Amino acid sequence: MAGAPAWAADAAAQVLELERNLGSAICQGDTAFYDRVTADDFVMTHSDRWTTGGQPLLVDDKASFRKRIENRSYVSMDFDSVKVEMHGDLAITYGRYVSNMRGVAPDRAWFSVWYEKVYAKRNGQWIYLSHRTVHGATYGTTREAVADK
């Protein structure tokens, strides 16, 4: 965030740290952390079908995504190419993560997703509002198979 005021750079760093911590909490089954930093009206739109006018593969609310965390569905969630755009007390992150899940077909064990997430600062704390897949998921049998997708 070259040329941005110091408060914006500090806020951006806080949001990116929250995003990494949230990814860890999801993989570790830490529902208490997820509950604390996620808005009650949270929405997660899976797949990119919506980008061409179709219906998303799946839409989670806070409770349904919490079940995925309780079940430890995600084994890993590695972020890269992540950027943050600050708009006062709103932040938009965008980038890619590579992940793998338990209990899926071997040819879909690993996937990469390009995403956008929205956060808002409420009562002095950054809160996770939404997640939307903008490209993907791209599936493969290994991390290497999806690492550059």
What is the predicted pLDDT for the residue at 5?
Answer: 65
pTM for the model: 0.90
Please, what is the Cα angle at 100 between 95 and 106, to 5 degrees?
A: 135
Task: Show Cβ contacts of residue 106 under 8 Å, excluding neighbours closer than 6 positions.
Answer: 141
What is the predicted pLDDT for the residue at 8?
Answer: 74
What is the predicted pLDDT for the residue at 29?
Answer: 97
What is the predicted pLDDT for the residue at 147?
Answer: 87
What is the predicted pLDDT for the residue at 1?
Answer: 52
Q: Which amino acid is at 8?
A: A
Mean pLDDT by 10 residues, the chain (149 residues): 67 95 97 98 93 91 97 93 94 96 90 96 97 93 90
User: In whole angstroms, what is the distance from residue 7 CA to residue 99 CA?
Assistant: 32
91-126 as b/e: b if 16+ CB within 10 A? bbbebbbbbbbeeeeeeebbbbbbbebbbbeeeeeb
Domains of the chain: 6-146 (3.10.450.50)
